[in-house]
């Protein structure tokens, strides 16, 4: 049975809010128009070759600690609160410059997640909308997907359906264990909203997509890993279930209402007790 609201107990405004910026600093006006019309941008250059190697080495070390603790390759979720390396990527000014052109000068974040598809792990990410999962309103969050590894057609790139962000909440179904779906929601027959576009990127590049854009990825059948780090940003006027003081990183600018409890930079790279 299709579901039209994953969080019926919370009143949310799930519709696309176009970016309005007549004087962008990093993106072009054409790119902003593309984001509004198609719901995504890629590839955008950020990190140098040397920095790419450092980003990968950092993840490899963190993954070793994660697996030693009995967790899997999708477990590094929300660890920016305890891992300074993730926190530093979240507040990197080169990434924030792109996001500011879409959301404005004040930016907060409360979500990060490494998606590391190991060779032959058999797991897919079914087509879904990010906003469907999140207790946030209005739906003004964007996801930055940072390529830790090179991404091509062979190792399960993220695929997006252009323009699908303009349809509001799209009905979905809960995934069954047999589907081997990482995130638990599946929009079946997503192709009726358009043809999927694979986001082929080099390590160190990013994509940005609306929280209402349909996207997903197939199982990685190659012999190479495909790792990406998702960084979620929103303007501080977005609200969650809590009345105030929900924890978030103030990435840039100010939080005019003081709604968010600002998370400081961690001192180390520790595995959190939770997550």
Domain that holds residue 49: 29-262
Residue 204 reports pLDDT greater than 80: yes
Is residue 145 situated within a structural domain? yes
At residue 104, does pLDDT exceed 80?
yes
Residue 88 has pLDDT above 60, yes or no: yes
Residue 63, SS3?
helix
Nearest-angstrom CA–CA distance, 148 and 52? 7
In Å, how far are 11, 30, 50, 177, 266 from 232, measured between CA atoms? 21, 23, 25, 27, 18
pTM of the predicted structure, to 2 decimals: 0.96
Region 103-117: mean pLDDT is 98
* Structural domain contains residue 182: yes
Among 85, 101, 15, 80, residue whose Cα is nearest residue 250: 80
The domain that contains 171 carries what CATH number? 2.60.120.620
Over range 202-206, report the average pLDDT. 99
Q: Is the peptide bond before 151 cis (omega within 30 degrees of 0)?
A: no
Residue 242 lies in a domain: yes
% of the chain exceeding 70 in pLDDT: 99
Task: Report, as an integer, the average pLDDT of 87-115.
Answer: 99
More confident residue, 2 or 160: 160
Reported as a pLDDT band with limits 50, 70 and 90, residue 275 is very low
Q: Which of 12-21, 53-62, 212-221, 242-251 has the lowest mean pLDDT?
A: 242-251
Higher pLDDT, 109 or 9: 109
DSSP 172: B
More confident residue, 70 or 90: 90
Tens of pLDDT, residue by residue over 3-58, are 999 999 899 999 999 999 999 999 999 999 999 999 999 999 999 999 999 999 99
Pair type for strands 260-262 and 246-252:
parallel
Tell which residue, 237, 193, 232, 233, has the closest CA to residue 215. 193
Q: For position 178, what pLDDT does the model report?
A: 84
* 115 part of a folded domain: yes
In tens, the pLDDT along 220-233 reads 999 999 999 999 99
Q: What is the pLDDT of residue 274?
A: 62
pLDDT exceeds 60 at position 242: yes
User: Domains in the chain: how many in total?
Assistant: 1
Average pLDDT of the segment spanning 247-272: 96
Contact 254, 106 (CB under 8 A): yes
């Amino acid at each position: 049975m299709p579901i039209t609201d994953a969080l019926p107990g919370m009143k949310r405004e799930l519709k696309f809010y176009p970016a309005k910026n007549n004087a962008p600093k990093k993106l072009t006006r054409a790119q902003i128009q593309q984001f509004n019309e198609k719901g995504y941008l890629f590839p955008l250059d950020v990190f140098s070759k040397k920095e790419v190697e450092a980003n990968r080495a950092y993840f490899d070390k963190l993954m070793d600690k994660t697996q030693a603790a009995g967790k899997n390759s999708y477990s590094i979720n929300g660890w920016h609160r305890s891992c300074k390396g993730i926190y530093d990527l979240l507040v990197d000014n080169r990434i924030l410059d792109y996001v500011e052109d879409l959301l404005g000068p004040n930016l907060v974040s409360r979500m990060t997640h490494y998606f590391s598809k190991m060779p032959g792990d058999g797991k897919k990410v079914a087509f879904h909308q990010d906003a469907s999962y999140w207790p946030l309103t209005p739906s003004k969050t964007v996801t930055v997907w940072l390529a830790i590894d090179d991404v091509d057609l062979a190792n399960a790139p993220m695929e997006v359906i252009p323009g699908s962000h303009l349809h509001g909440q799209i009905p979905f179904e809960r995934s069954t264990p047999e589907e081997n779906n990482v995130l638990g929601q599946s929009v079946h027959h997503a192709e009726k909203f358009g043809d999927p576009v694979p986001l082929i990127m080099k390590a160190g590049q990013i994509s940005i997509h609306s929280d209402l854009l349909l996207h997903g990825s197939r199982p990685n059948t190659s012999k190479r890993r495909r790792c990406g780090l998702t960084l979620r940003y929103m303007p501080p006027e977005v609200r969650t279930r809590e009345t105030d003081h929900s924890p978030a990183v103030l990435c840039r600018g100010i939080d005019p209402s003081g709604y968010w409890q600002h998370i400081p930079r961690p001192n180390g790279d520790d595995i959190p007790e939770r997550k």
